[in-house]
Structure 1
Amino acid sequence: MNLRIASLTLALASGSAAFVAAVQAQTAPDHGTGHLMLKPAELTWKPLPSIAGADIAVIEGPMSQPGPFTVRLRLPANSRIPPHWHPGIEHVTVMSGTFQIGHGEKFEEGKLTALPPGSVAIMQPKSPHFVLVKEETIVQLHGMGPWAVKYVNPADDPSKK
């Protein structure tokens, strides 16, 4: 039994070292602690070409590589995201505004659920969903990369237009 406890302790210690190394490898300011701490004014917003008028602030990433990512999306009023899915689990936290989300392969306003600030939505991998915001809305997304957006209808993919 002591051998099993020793093996578990060694495994946890090795995992902790890898975790600390990964956190320290982040390029965002760490205030000399190895931790990432950002105030809203410290976020760097850049245009998100796939959604007209939207911006993205990458907090942790990059989304295109294996590993954890955290981003914020600022969606302008009247944004509509057609049915799509992601290869990994998606965690969404509504920071401001109202985020309306529905599940399915067809955009149906009657299937939207309005999520006010503080709400959380978790979409399972390959689960088609769609979004509508009627007012400027900020959401925080986190998950594991590499990340992708796969549109149910390929014609909805803005990169194909």
Structure 2
Amino acid sequence: MTSSDIKWAPIPSMPKGTQTTVLHGNPGKPGLYTARLKIPANSKMPVHSHPDERVRVIISGTYYSALGDKVDTSKLLSFPPGTFSHVPPKVWQFAETRDEEVIFEVTGIGPTGIDYLNPEDDPRKQK
């Protein structure tokens, strides 16, 4: 698959404007999957967790992320392009983008999903 083959689609469980594409597998079913996410500039990811263990590689832009059950921007670490990171399952985390769009690739063993510590932060529940 080349970059020109990628078809982006909205992902309702993430901040408005975020898009995803599945490169391999099916993230909603058991088994290996790889997906890419494109997150707009100036997006905030409230405290959330994922049910699966995953690895992440930043492709473009700088992603800011930290572990914890309360947003504390002083704890954010910068993940510039090329950064590889491991994200344990069921660990609370928060993140943001700043002045640029961020694209990253995530690989894990599905099924995956996203749970928000505060249900009111879930974009799927907002009107």
1:62-105 per-position Cα deviation (integer Å, ceiling 9, x unaligned):
11100011000011100111111111112110000001101101
Aligned to 1:153: 118
CA distance in 2, matches of 1:111, 1:117: 19
Name the aligned partner's letter for residue 130 of structure 1: F
Contiguous gaps of at least 5 residues in structure 1:
1-37
2:4 is equivalent to residue 41 of structure 1: yes
Aligned residue pairs: how many? 124
Equivalents in 1 of 2:25, 2:92: separation in Å? 24
Q: Following TM superposition, by how much is the alpha carbon of 1:61 offset from its aligned partner in structure 2, in angstroms?
A: 2.1
Equivalent residue letter for 2:103: I
Could you say what the CA RMSD is over the residues aligned between the two structures, in angstroms?
0.9
1:82 matched residue in structure 2 = 46
Distance in structure 2 (CA, Å) of the matches to 1:159 and 1:151: 11
Moved over 3 A (4+): none
Q: Which residue of 2 aligns with 1:111?
A: 75
Q: Percent identity?
A: 37
Higher helix share: 1
Bigger RCO of structures 1 and 2 (CA < 8 A, at least 6 apart) = 2
Structure 2: how far apart are the matches of 1:142 and 1:79? 22
Paired residue secondary structure (2:120): helix
**How far off its partner does 1:153 sit?**
1.1
Query: Which structure: greater strand fraction?
Result: 2
Q: In structure 2, what is the Cα distance between the partners aligned to 1:85 and 1:147?
A: 10
Work out whether 1:63 is the aligned partner of 2:63: no
Q: Which runs of 5+ in 2 are unaligned?
A: none
